[in-house]
Structure 1
Amino acid sequence: MPRRRPRAPWTLQRRLVLTVVALLALVSVTIGVVSVVILRASLIDRLDVQLASAVERSGVVLGGGDNDGDRFGDTPESPYFGMPAADSILGGPAQPPGLLALVYDGTTITTGYTDDQSGAIEELSGDQVQLLADQVNQSAPVTVDLGGELGEYRLQAHTSRTGILYLVGLPLSGVAATAAQLALIITFVSLAGLIVVAIIAAWVVRLALRPLQRVTATATRVAQLPLDRGEVALDDRVPAGDTDPRTEVGRVGAALNRMLDHVDLALEARQTSERKVRQFVADASHELRTPLASIRGYSELTRRSGQHLPPDTIHALGRIESESVRMTGLVEDLLLLARLDEGRELEQQPVDLTVLLVDAVNDAHAAGRDHVWNLELPDEPIEAIGDEPRLRQVVANLLANARVHTDAGSEVIVALQAVGDRAVITVTDNGPGIPESLTDTLFERFARGDTSRFRGTGSTGLGLAIVAAVVAAHHGAVTVDSQPGRTQFRVELPLAGAAEAH
C-alpha cells in the first residue's frame, strides 16, 4: 500500500487569514442565531396577543347574547343562527385569516379552519382533531404541529360563560417565513462580509509580514553562501528598519544581525588561520624541496660511487634514497594543494581526454601487471579545456588508488563518455569496496582507514584530496559509489565548448 505524502504545512499568512475569517464566521453565526431566535420569540409574542384577541372575540360569539346565558346563534335574529359552533367562531367579526377553531358543547365537537388563500372554511382530519382535543385543557398558548399543509399552530383553550369549551389557534407559518427570510438575509450578508474580510485580511497580513519576509530573504541569502570554504564576504544584513526592538519582527531581525556579526568575526578568524596555515605549508614545501633533492642526490651518488661499502650501508643508502623520493612526492603534493587553495588559475588549453586515458592506462599497466586493465573509449575524441598535467595527475591518482587498494588479479575498467555538456570519466574496480564510515571523509586530506582496503599501503592520504581539488578547480565534480565487490569513482568535467562558455 503506497504511503501517503505528508500534507504541506500551512504558512503563517494562511493561518492568520483563516483564523480571522473563522472568528468572523463564528461571530456571524452567533449573531444570526441569536437574531433569529429573538425575532421568532418576538413574533410569537405578537401572535399570542392576536390569539388572545381571537379567543376573546370567539367567547363573545359563543356566549355574548342580550339575555345572559344565550348564544348569538340561539335566536333567529342572530347572524350565526343554525351555523355549527366552530363555523360561528371562524365567521365571527374581525377574525384573522388562517384561524382554527374547535368547540365542545358537552355533546358534540365541531372543528374547522379558514383557508388563507380562498377564505373558505375547511374541515380538519381525524388525526388533527385528536391533536387539538389533547390540548383543550391548555389555558396558556402552546405550539402544536398539525402536519400536512397546516403545519405548526399556536393554540389556546378557553371556556365561555355558558360553559362551552373551545380552542382557537393561529398559524405559525408567517412567523416561520419571516424568521427564514431573516436567516437567509443574514447568511448572504455574512458570506459577502466573510469574502470582503478575507480579501482585506490577506492584504493586511501580507503587508504586516513584509518585514518578516525581508528577514527571511536575508537569512536565505546568507544560507546560500559557501561558508565552509574560502574567503566569504558576509556583508548581508537585515535592513535597519526591520530591527526595531519594540516589535516582534524587529527583535528577530536584530538577533539575526547580531548572529551574523558573530559569524562574520568567526569566519574572518578562520580565514586568517587558514591563510597562515596555507602559507606555512607552501613555504615549508618550497623550502624542503632543495634539501630533499640534496639528500636524494648524495645518497644516490654515494651508492653509485663504486667504492666497496658494507651491505648494511648499501641497504641504508637505498632506504634513504627511497624515503627521500617519497618525501619529495609528499612535498610536491602539499605544494600543489597550497597553490590550489590560494586560487591560482590553472592553464586553460584543449586537452584530448581520449589520449590522456590511453597514456594513463598504459602507465598503470606497467606499474601493476598483476591487475587486469580495460579501457572503454567512445568512437569520437572528447576534449576538455584545462591543465593537462593536472588532469593527468587526477587520472593517475585514481588508477594508483585502484591498483594499491585491490588484490592481485582484480579488474579495473576505465571509461570515457560525453553526457550532455560534461565529459564523464569513470574508474571501476571489483575490489573489496570502501567502508561506509569512510565515504564522507574520503576526499579530505590525510584521510586513511584501517580496513583491508587501506592497510599497509603507505598512502599519504593526499591522492584523492588532490583529485577533488583539481577537479573543483576545473569546475567539475568527483563522486564515489562503493559496495563490496564494486567501487566506482566518477569524474565530471565540462566539455571544451561548455568550459569556454563558463
Structure 2
Amino acid sequence: MIRRWTARLRPASLRARVAWIVLALLTSVLVVLFVVVDLALSDRLHDDARTRLTDRVGLAQQLDGQLSAEQLVDRLGGDGVTVQLCRTDGSGCATTVPNPAPPRPGAGDPRGPRPKPVRANADVPVETAGSVLFVRTQLNGAQVLTLSLDTTQITEALARLVVLQIIGGAVALLLAGLAAARLSRTALRPLEQMTTLARQIAAGDRGRRLGTAGPDSELRRMAAAFDAMLDELEAAETRMRTFLADASHELRTPMAGLQANAELLLRENPDRAERERVAVALVRESRRAARLVDDLLTMTRAGEGIDLAQERLDLIEIARTETARAQALAPALTFLVEGDEQCPVVGDPLRLGQILGNLLDNARHATPAGGSVTVTAERRDGRAVLTVGDTGPGVPPGERDVIFERFGRGDASRSRNTGGAGLGLPIARGLARAHGGDLTYVDRPAGACFRLDLPAAAAPASSHPGPAPTDNGSMQRPRGSPGGRR
C-alpha cells in the first residue's frame, strides 16, 4: 500500500523529480541543522544559568561575614536570580526578587559596583523544580542561602527561535525550489533536444544526428553513443535492403525460367524432344533456386551459430577429395595438391569440405582455360594453413573486401554468366570462423590466392606418414571461360 501511494505521488517528469530530490535533501539538512543548533543553544543557556547560580554561591562565600544579611542579599540578587537568606531555625529571612529588566547600557548598577564573582571551592549541586533552578548552601552564622533562577525566559526565547527557523527555512526552501526548477530545466535541456530529434528521426528524417559539440560531459558521451547507434542501425537497414534486393534479384532469374517453361508446357503441346528440353530446363532452374536458398540458410546459420561435428580430420585428404571433384567439373584446368604429408585438424568434415569446395568453385570460374589451381596445406606454429591459388586475373585491391560480403562479386555485373550469386566466399569465411579460424585474401603478383587458417590438432603419439602428394589433374582440352568470383 505504501509503495502504491509512493508511486502515485512520485512526479512523472525527470525535471520535477530532480527538483523534489533537491528540496528533500535541503529540507533534511535544514532540519538536522536546526535541531542541532536548538539543542546546543538550549544546553549552553542552561549551563550559563547553572554557572550563574554557582558563581553567586562563590561570591556569597567570599562576602560571608563582611556584609549584613540585607547587604549580602542585595549584592547577590539581579539578572533574574532570586536570593533568600534565612537562619536555620526559620527566623530572620532576607529575600530579594529578580530584576527582569537589565540596566540600560552605560547606566551602571544603582546598587554600586559588584565584586568579581569567584567560583565556589566546593561542588554545589544545582537542583530543578519544574522550570526553576535553585541551589542551597550553608553560610557562617547558622544561615542557609537559597538562590533560584526561573528558566521560563530561556524556554520562550528558544520557542521564538524555532518559529524564526521554521519561517526562514520555508522561505529558503521556496527560493531553493524555484532555483532548482530553473537549474534542472537548463541542465536537462539537451535531453529535451535529444527527445525532439529522436522523434524527428522516428518520423522519417533518418539523416539527422545529435552532434557532439560542446564540453566533454555525460550528455555529450550519451549523444555520441546515440549517434553511433543510429549510424549502425542505418547501416544495418541499408545492408538488409541491399540483401533483400540482391536476393530477390538472384531468385528472379530461376523463378522466371521456371514460369516460362511451365507456361510453355501448359500453353503448347510440344513434341517429345522439346518436352525433354523444357524438363531439363525446369530441373536446372529449380536446382539453381534451391542452391541459392540453401546458401542463404547457411549464411544465416553461420551468423547465428551453427552446430559443428568435432572429428579429427586430415586437411590434405579433404583437399584431395574436393580437387578431384573440381577436376571432373573443369577438365581443362590443372589441379595440384601440395604440402605436408599430414595436416590434422578437428572439425566438421562436411563443413570443411564445403569451405574448400567453395574456394575451388571460385577458382575454376575465375581461371581461364589452360590455367592451374594449386592447393597447399601445411602446419605453421600450431596452425593448419591451407591456401588455394589460381592463375586467373586476381582481385583488384579495391574489391578484396567486397568479395567477402553477401552478394559481393569481383565484377559489377549481375549476370549469371560470371558464376554464383556472390555467397560462396562469405559462406566459406563464416564456416571458417565457426571453426575458430579465418579466411583471408593473400596478395601476390599474379592470380588470386585465398588462405584458410585453422587451429591444428595435436599429433597422435604414433602416426604413420601418408602417401606423398600427387597431381590430381593434367592439361586437357580447353574448356570454360573466365568470370567473376562468388
- TM-score range, shorter-chain basis? 0.3 to 0.5
TM-score (normalised: structure 1)? 0.41
TM-score (normalised: structure 2)? 0.42
Higher relative contact order (CA 8 A, sep 6+): 2
